[in-house]
Structure 1
Amino acid sequence: MFNLTISTVLARAIALLLGFSVHEAAHAWVAYRLGDDTAARQGRLTLNPLAHLDPLGAIMALVAMIGWARPVPVNPWRLRYGPRVGGALVAAAGPFSNLLMAAVVAIPWRLGLFDGAPKLVLTVAWTFVALNVALFLFNLIPLAPLDGISVLSGAVGRETAARLTPLYTYGPQILLVLILIGYVAPQLNILGKTLFPAMNWLVGLLLGY
Structure 2
Amino acid sequence: MAYDRPGEPLVLGVPRAAFRPSPVFLALVALLVTSGVMAWHRFGNVRLDVFLFVVSGWLVSLCLHEYAHAVVAYRAGDRDIAHRGYLTLNPFKYTHPLLSIALPVLVVLLGGIGLPGGAVWVDRHAIPGRLRHTLVSLAGPATNVLFTLLLVAALRLGLAGGGGSGEFWAGLALLAFLQLTASVLNLLPVPGLDGGNMIQPWLNPQWRRMYDLFAPYGFIVLFALLWNPRIGGAFFGAIFAIADALGLPPDLYAAGLDLIRFWQG
> What range is the shorter-chain TM-score in?
0.7 to 0.9
| Aligned-residue offset at 1:194 | 3.9
**Aligned equivalents of 1:171 and 1:48: distance in 2?**
25
| Structure 1 range deviating more: 135-144 or 165-174 | 165-174
Q: Secondary structure at the match of 2:88?
A: coil
| Aligned-residue offset at 1:89 | 0.8
In structure 2, the residue matched to 1:98 is 144
TM (norm. structure 2) is: 0.63
User: Taking every aligned residue pair, what percent have the same amino acid on both sides?
Assistant: 27
* Cα gap change, 1:174 to 1:100, in 2 (>3 Å): closer
Alignment of 1:187-206 (within 5 A): 187-188=229-230, 190=231, 192-206=232-246
**Unpaired runs of at least 5, structure 2:** 1-46, 250-265
In structure 1, the residue matched to 2:176 is 129
| Aligned-residue offset at 1:42 | 1.3
Q: CA RMSD for the aligned pairs?
A: 2.8
Given candidates 87, 96, 120, the residue that maps to 2:133 is 87
**Aligned equivalents of 2:79 and 2:246: distance in 1?**
35
In structure 1, the residue matched to 2:185 is 138
Given candidates 168, 177, 182, the residue that maps to 2:212 is 168
| Aligned-residue offset at 1:169 | 1.3
* 1:26 and 2:68 matched: yes
Q: Secondary structure at the match of 2:78?
A: coil
8 Å Cα contact 1:15/1:131 also seen in 2: no
* 1:43 and 2:85 matched: yes
Question: What CA deviation, in whole Å up to 9, does each residue of 1:83-134 have, x standing for no partner?
Answer: x322211011011111111112222223245634212311221111111111
Give the AA of the match of 1:101: F
Larger Rg: 1 or 2?
Answer: 2
**Unpaired runs of at least 5, structure 1:** none
**Aligned equivalents of 1:55 and 1:181: distance in 2?**
20
* 1:72 and 2:116 matched: no
TM (norm. structure 1) is: 0.77
In structure 1, the residue matched to 2:166 is 119
In structure 2, the residue matched to 1:110 is 156
Q: Secondary structure at the match of 1:111?
A: helix
In structure 2, the residue matched to 1:58 is 101
Give the AA of the match of 1:203: A
* Cα gap change, 1:207 to 1:162, in 2 (>3 Å): farther
**Aligned equivalents of 1:33 and 1:174: distance in 2?**
27
Give the AA of the match of 2:198: V
